[in-house]
Amino acid sequence: MEVLIFLLFILVLAIFLGFEVISKVPSLLHTPLMSGSNAISGVTIVGALIAAGLGEGEDTAALIGGVAVAFATINVVGGYLVTNRMLGMFKKKDK
C-alpha cells in the first residue's frame, strides 16, 4: 500500500509537469506532438518485455507479453519515425 501512495505522488507531479511543458507547444507542431505522444505511450514496452521474458511454466503470460511487445513496438518505432519525417518538412524561409 505504501508503494501505491508513492506512485500516486509521482503521478500527480507528472500530470502538473505535463500540463506546464505541453501547453507551451505551438499549434504549428500539434500533429507531430500527437505522433510523438504515440511513441511515448509505447513506453508500455517496458512492462511487455518483462512479461514476454518470463521463463518456464509461464508460457501463456509470456505469449501475451510477446503480443504486447509487438503492439508497443509499432507505437515506439512508428511514432518516432513518422514524427521525425514530419518535422523534417518544417523549413524556414531561405533568404
Partner 1 sequence: MEDVRTLLNLVYILSAVTFILGFKLMGRPTTARQGNLLSAVGMAAAVVATLMFPEVVRYTYIIAGLVIGAVIGALFAYRTPMTGMPQMVGLLNGFGGAASLLVAWAEFVARPSQPLYQGIIIWLTVLIGTVTLSGSLIAWAKLEERFIPTKPVLYPGQRIVSVLLLAAILGGGIWFAADTTAPTATQVLGAVTALAFVLGILLVIPIGGADMPVVISLLNSYSGMAACASGFIIQNNLLIVAGALVGASGIILTLIMCKAMNRSVANVVLGGFGADVPGKAQDVIGEIKPVKPDEAYLILEAASSVVIVPGYGLAVSQAQHAVRELMEAMEKNGTEVRFAIHPVAGRMPGHMNVLLAEANVPYDALVEMDAINPTMDTVDVCMIIGANDVVNPAALEDKSSPLWGMPIIEAHRARTVIVMKRSMGKGFAGVENPLFFRNNTRMLFGDAKASLQALINEFKGGN
**What is the closest distance, in whole angstroms, from the C-beta atom of residue 5 to partner 1 in the complex?**
11
**What is the closest distance, in whole angstroms, from the C-beta atom of residue 24 to partner 1 in the complex?**
5
- Say if CB 22 and CB 36 are below 8 A apart: no
State how far the Cα of 75 lies from the Cα of 40, in Å rounded to an integer.
8
Contacts of 47 (CB under 8 A, 6+ apart): 68
- Encode 20-44: b = buried (16+ Cβ within 10 Å), e = exposed: eeeeeeeeeeeebeebbebbeebee
**What is the closest distance, in whole angstroms, from the C-beta atom of residue 9 to partner 1 in the complex?**
10
